[in-house]
Structure 1
């Protein structure tokens, strides 16, 4: 969308946009989510062609989502739908609309039923050996937090020195919806965090409390963390051609952590709390069963020989 189009939309829909902006801040949406949702809503408003938002219906929402799907996948469609649902929820809250037409549109089941990509424990250990360079300890700690503690990349980005409780061996994590979650740390992870804190570059600003800082003394951005992870995964894949087509990312490390716990027979309710999920249904997507487990289960069946 051009800056001219954006300015035009802001003139036509100034009140709904302002309401949504305030509502997301009040609801505790992260800055990244607010930017992403606002971008989706601007595209949606552009598709309305000056039609008042309270007059738009299910057909307008579906038409917009269909146009999005032509250039993107079902994941993008679901993200767009979530943004529009939130947009109308804000308008209803501020009495600028009486119904939410986006709630009448179902989310795509294609993505919902797709098993998450994850690394087996042996592969996860192998990935760690590809973390090299001047900032090896810092980057290794980042991988350990995502792969062995289940932190989201945004949660790693937001970590402050004050969140690491060395005496208790825990980490206070600010998750989605501005909710705090205290995570008990494995001993080795805690040891690495102590080491990283001791080696931490002194930030330019005396008020900067970020745990992970760049070589320029600023808080590592989400994009920088993702770039570090991508470089490590690329090096790992070069030596493991069977993994070439696997889409590895920071979030796949979190998937690996969840799968590891469930494979170790940890109660799913505890896994839910460690991951900071609002609903156990979200945690359920990690209860996938691998082929080895299926074969093992079938060996317990005694089939009688007949005839």
Structure 2
């Protein structure tokens, strides 16, 4: 006699409930509660940890592990390998994604050790794989010029877009730094193209670290046009904000808004390569080094804590030189 669909569903639900109450599942739940209540992590971060640890639990269950106390270093390493290669249910992940999942796994095991759920930490010696270092992508100066010329400066929005793009390339600022610039962060000369005083802007980088960066004449002219002719119109639509760059409702421009401005300019300039705000930062650094700038100066302008971070741009310029050499030298091929 066959079972009714209701009984089958009820039995399945009961089995799922039992599975979810394994010691490992309870340990994971305890760690996730710690992230929310004691560490106060953002909802998106907790959701990401939850997904990663559910995948970890699923893998351990598949090899017969239902208790955090019986997990070994080999289990963690094999799980990391399965993340990279994929399994029957999941595709293989990138090096960066594997590293992200292992951050959650290592955090959980460390927490369980501290809370005496376990007596060892099998994940401590399992290091996330190092991502391959990718060279920053810069675009040629001719493409930068096409991009900067793209906005329609007959409108307030176009004047703003022009000012943002010029500012990004002139300062090499991160997009988060740009949208957080207030009017008072600009020197008076940065809003007056006729001023004989060099223009500068105060930027706040990672860790709220402050630095002063010069602003080029093209950017100064674009900012002056925007502040005088466009910003008042945009500001009238809002409730008042000290932000330099405003959105169409008169509030501070968001990161997403800045991305849309750049995408629109790329479309108008008919540039087919992928260009992000960070591409202009990369181009700023690369073009400075190609022009003979000292790497320590570029480091200061970019706000890098270590010159080693800036050093990667020298590899880009060296690669460019190599390509030119191969193309131009009769005995290079």
- Relative to the length of structure 1, the TM-score reads 0.71
C-alpha distance after superposition, 1:260-295 (max 9, x if no partner): 111012111111111111222221221213666236
Distance 2:265 2:329 in 1: 43
TM-fit CA distance, 1:143: 0.8
Aligned to 1:62: 80
C-alpha distance after superposition, 1:212-237 (max 9, x if no partner): 11121111111111011112112323
Whether the 8 Å contact between 1:84 and 1:102 is mirrored in structure 2 is no
Distance 1:211 1:82 in 2: 40
Tell me which of 203, 210, 214 is aligned to 1:173: 203
Matched, 1:40 2:40: no
Relative distance call for 1:258 and 1:292 in structure 2 (3 A) is closer
Relative distance call for 1:263 and 1:91 in structure 2 (3 A) is farther
Distance 1:232 1:265 in 2: 29
Q: Which runs of 5+ in 1 are unaligned?
A: 1-7, 23-33
The equivalences for 1:18-167 within 5 A come to 18-21=37-40, 37-49=45-57, 58-59=76-77, 62=80, 65-66=83-84, 70=91, 73-77=94-98, 80=100, 84=104, 101=123, 104-110=126-132, 112=133, 114-132=134-152, 134=155, 135-167=157-189
TM-fit CA distance, 1:254: 0.8
Whether the 8 Å contact between 1:41 and 1:84 is mirrored in structure 2 is yes
Relative distance call for 1:132 and 1:102 in structure 2 (3 A) is farther
Residue 148 of structure 1 aligns to a residue whose secondary structure is: helix
Residue 21 of structure 1 aligns to a residue whose secondary structure is: coil
Q: CA RMSD in A?
A: 4.2
Distance 2:286 2:105 in 1: 31
Distance 1:217 1:100 in 2: 53
Distance 1:170 1:56 in 2: 56
C-alpha distance after superposition, 1:118-154 (max 9, x if no partner): 1111221121121225222211111112222111111
Q: Which runs of 5+ in 2 are unaligned?
A: 1-25, 58-65, 190-197
C-alpha distance after superposition, 1:181-219 (max 9, x if no partner): 21121233223223322231225223x221111121111
Distance 2:125 2:45 in 1: 16
Relative distance call for 1:182 and 1:87 in structure 2 (3 A) is farther
Aligned to 2:227: 197
Whether the 8 Å contact between 1:170 and 1:183 is mirrored in structure 2 is yes
- The one of the two structures with greater contact order (alpha-carbon pairs below 8 A, sep at least 6) is 1
Aligned to 1:253: 280
TM-fit CA distance, 1:251: 1.1
Whether the 8 Å contact between 1:16 and 1:96 is mirrored in structure 2 is no
Aligned to 2:193: none
Distance 2:102 2:203 in 1: 24
TM-fit CA distance, 1:76: 4.5
| Number of aligned positions between the proteins | 275
Matched, 1:233 2:266: yes
Matched, 1:222 2:255: yes
Whether the 8 Å contact between 2:177 and 2:204 is mirrored in structure 1 is yes
